[in-house]
Amino acid sequence: MGKLEGKVAVITGASSGIGLATAKRFVAEGAYVFVTGRRQAELDAAVKAIGSNATGVQGDAGNLADLDRLYKAVKTQEGRLDVLCANAGIGEFGRLGSITEDHFDKIFAVNVRGTLFTVQKALPLFIGGGSIILTGSIAGIKGYENFSVYSASKAAIRSFARTWLTDLKARNIRVNVISPGPVETGVFDQLPPEAKEYFVSMIPRGTIGQPDEIAKAAVFLASSDSSFVNGVELFVDGGTVQI
C-alpha cells in the first residue's frame, strides 16, 4: 500500500517541473490528483505523462474564477480533499531602481494573492484533517541580486504557514512549506550559463537539484509519516542555505 493510498490531492502549477514530478509521485503512492496549468496543451501532456488517476483543470492560480472552477470539479468528482499543494508561482528578475508596477503586481498576484485564495477556497473540501503544502524558495531568506520582489513574495509564503497553522489547528489541518534550492526546471534552463554556474556553485554537492527530489519531500509532508510536523519550512536545497 502506498503512503497516500486513497487520498485526494490538488497540485497547482503542475504542467511541468516540480508540480508535475509531485503529481507523478503522489499517484505512484496511491493518490488521485487534480492538476492545474495555465496552458491547455501543456496540461493535457502532463495528464498523459502522469498516466492514471489524474484530472487536469486548466486555470491560473491568480484568477479566482479559475479556482472556483477547479474546486467545483474536485467536489463533483471526489467530494473531498485531503492534500493541497499550492505550487503555482512565477519568478522574474528586476533590479531595484527599475522595478515596475507591472513586475510587482504580476509576481504578487500569483505567488501571494494566488496562494492565499488557492488555500482559502479549498478549505470547505477538507474533511477531518489534511495537509497543505506551500511552495516557497530559498530566495525567501537569501539576498539574491535583482530578485527582491520574488524573494519578498516567497517570504510571505513562509509567514502564511505560521499563521494558517494556528487558524486551522482546530480542524487538524497541517500547513508546511517546501523551499527548494536551484532545481533543473524550465525556469533554470532559461538562465544564462554564468548564472547557472553561480547557482550550482553554491550547492555543497556540486550538482543541481532534480524535480523528483522535491517531489519526494512533498510525499513525506502529505503523508502520515509527517503527522507531527506542522508549520516548518523544509529546505530541499542540498544544504545551500546552511553554509
Question: What is the C-alpha to C-alpha distance for residues 178 and 224, in angstroms, rounded to an integer?
Answer: 17
DSSP code of 170? G
> Among all chains, which residue has been given the C-alpha cell 512549506?
177
Strand partners, 211: none
Residue 83 · residue 32 · CB < 8 Å? no
Catalytic residues: 150
Structure-block grid coordinates of residue 158: 513562509
Q: Work out whether the CA dihedral 176, 225, 215, 138 comes out positive or negative.
A: positive
The HSE-up count of residue 215 (CA atoms within 13 Å, CB side) is 21
Cα distances (angstroms) measured from residue 17 to each of 5, 75, 153, 187, 223: 23, 26, 20, 9, 21
Question: What is the C-alpha to C-alpha distance for residues 147 and 111, in angstroms, rounded to an integer?
Answer: 14
Residue 161 · residue 176 · CB < 8 Å? yes
Q: Is 101 helix (H, G, I), strand (E, B) or coil?
A: helix
